[in-house]
Structure 1
Amino acid sequence: NRKGPPMIQAVTTPQQQAEYRRRIAGKPYFESVLGTHLALFGAHPASGWMFYLLPGTAVLELRGGSGALCGGLPDDEDTREELQGFLRFLHVDCLRCEHPLPAAYANTWQSGKPLTLWTLPQGHALPPPKPPAGKWGLTLDTAPSMLPISRLVFAESDAEADEFYSTACTALAHGYGTCRALLYNGKPVCTVGCYEQSTREAYMAAGVTAPEWRGRGLAGWLIASLANELAAEKDVCFLCLPHLREFYQRLGFVQNGMIQQYTTDWNIK
């Protein structure tokens, strides 16, 4: 039997939190997103967020059945068995990873479509598209109510909308982000926000346009405007699905790698 401290350590002490932040420092997406979540929820186990130090240089963030894995794992049997057993016990079936999982995990985890990582470096600016505010009766709101925003972002899932609303409101209340929306008759029809950031990086997310308002350039203008605003002080990054790559290339963002996605079904393993 293996002796010594556990390979997977829950982040509970100030020293462990400092090590967690050290491991994600300088990692695009992970530094801002995991760092914000640790700051907001690390001291509140009842929040549902969980944070762990793993063997090697890796960290793990979990919430519900989803996880984010940043850093390098040793490719040995002990590490693999302990991590697989841990994830199975918690029924984590979705992982977002900085690096591809070692080949030995392939029997359990299926690779999905990777997400493209985009960036706008600090001090740079995108060519601003023609502003739509004022056209079609639209107005720009720089601090919109988050309840209707959550319903726009997750129009097909009340549970996801409620979860987004709670997390976004917590981030905004603690100074971790900002939201922008274009309103029509007081109702948001296009939005984008920043709900996670570090001292060096701002992560943009939840860029959505209502279906009946698409094709008018609303999202391009709103995204570029907020990115330019944030890039005056920090690097800006975000993720997108493969079918949106051309859209963000046209706006002028620079591709900065890929984030891997994996799923599993423990019921058939």
Structure 2
Amino acid sequence: MITSATTPAQQAEFARRIAGKPYFAAVMGTALTLFGQKPGSGWSFYLLPGGALALRGGTATLCGALPDADTAEELQSFLQFVCTDRVLTEHPLPFGTEVPPLTLWRLPKGGALPLPPAPPAALTLTEQPAMLPVSRLAFADKAQADGFYSAACTAMAHGIGCCHALLQDGAPVCTVGCFSQSKTENYMSAGVTAPAWRGRGLAGWLIVRMANELAQQRDAVFACKQALNSWYRSLGFTQNGIIQQYITDWNTL
């Protein structure tokens, strides 16, 4: 049975089930810590046989393996009821349309990578950028930008993570952040470069620089599309698994 994780005991069990799982412990655990007691946050958390489930918007994140066909059928019906259109999972699903997985990359705690060439002198590095313009750089869709802005500011207000950006005349043209963490991982995300500045090595320099700093305390971890695998490998990161991805069109299932 799928059960909403709302009580302290249920949320403690949720945290236990995701503990030590690359990506899931940091991302789902931070969301639970920040928003588990805030019903209006847009996040919701559930326990089900074999795992833990987090929902936000149209995306579901599932940590754990489904133990049997009955559990899979119940989860499928539940995700259809809440209109989920994307599922990120630790293990394969028996429903939905599988799309290329995300690759997890890691710089182990204590590690350090050589910095790529520095950005042009016309750009200024800031480790405390204004988050509203950063959110607009990271997401063209206003609703996504607003959601990212709220979540990122909440995380940093609670001492979780950071954001770095390269500025041109005060406006961000490249950024990367860390807004989720577990006991062993700092999870990096929202790495993006303005179209006019792409292909100049800005993102590689900024990502490696942040990863080196974060790895002084915990593993620095992030996920990417498979098309970027060779690039991150060339920067020196080590592959650390995959995240399965599925899209769901309930009209065709």
Structure 1 length-normalised TM: 0.91
How many angstroms apart in 1 are the aligned matches of 2:201 and 2:156? Answer: 27
- C-alpha displacement of 1:228: 0.3
Mapped pair 1:89 → 2:73: no
The residue aligned with 2:135 is 150
Instruction: State the match for 1:113 in structure 2.
Output: 100
Question: Structure 1: which 5+ residue stretches go unaligned?
Answer: 1-6
Aligned partners of 2:29, 2:72: CA distance in 1, in Å? 25
Match of 2:103, as an amino acid?
A: T
Q: Point out where structure 2 has 5 or more consecutive residues left out of the alignment.
A: none
Cα deviation, residue 68, structure 1: 0.2
Higher-Rg structure is 1
Q: 2:10 aligns to what?
A: 16
Cα shift readout 1:6-39 (whole Å, capped 9, x = no counterpart): x111111111111111111111100100000000
Matched, 1:125 2:112: yes
The CA deviation string for residues 174-215 of structure 1, in whole angstroms up to 9 with x for no partner, is 111100000010010000000111221100001111111112
SS in structure 2 at match of 1:267: coil
Please give the residue correspondences for 1:190-201 in structure 2 after superposition, counting only pairs within 5 Å: 190-201=174-185
2:23 to 29, 51, 54: 29
- Count, aligned residues: 253
SS of alignment partner, residue 266 of structure 1: coil
**Separation in structure 1 between the aligned mates of residue 188 and residue 133 of structure 2, nearest angstrom:** 19
- CA distance in 2: counterparts of 1:136 and 1:128, whole angstroms: 16
Q: What TM-score, normalized to structure 2? A: 0.97
2:195 paired residue among 187, 204, 211: 211
Matched to 1:137, the amino acid is: A
Q: Which aligned pairs between 1:49-198 and structure 2 lie closer than 5 A?
A: 49-56=43-50, 58-76=51-69, 78-101=70-93, 105-106=94-95, 109-132=96-119, 135-154=120-139, 156-198=140-182
Q: Distance in 2 between matches of 1:41 and 1:118?
A: 26
25-34 vs 78-87, which deviates more?
A: 78-87
Identify the residue that residue 240 of structure 1 maps to in structure 2. Answer: 224
How far did 1:130 drift? 2.3
CA drift at 1:129: 1.6
Q: Distance in 2 between matches of 1:142 and 1:80?
A: 44
Give the Cα–Cα distance (whole angstroms) in 1 for the partners of residues 211 and 158 of structure 2: 20
Aligned partner letter, 1:95: V
Q: Deviations over 1:81-115 (max 9, x none)?
A: 221221111111210001111xxx24xx1001110
> Percent same amino acid at aligned positions?
62
Once the two structures are TM-superposed, the CA of residue 46 in structure 1 deviates from its matched residue by: 1.3
Which amino acid letter does the alignment assign opposite residue 32 of structure 1? A
1:38 paired to 2:32: yes
Q: CA deviation at 1:166?
A: 0.9
Superposition deviation, residue 160 in structure 1 = 1.0
Deviation string 1:222-251 (CA, Å, 9 cap, x unpaired) is: 000000000000011110001111110111
Partners in 2 of 1:211 and 1:230 — Cα distance? 27
Write the letter of the residue equivalent to 2:252.
I
1:31-60 CA distance string (max 9 Å, x none): 10000000000001111100011102x100
SS in 2 for 1:229: helix
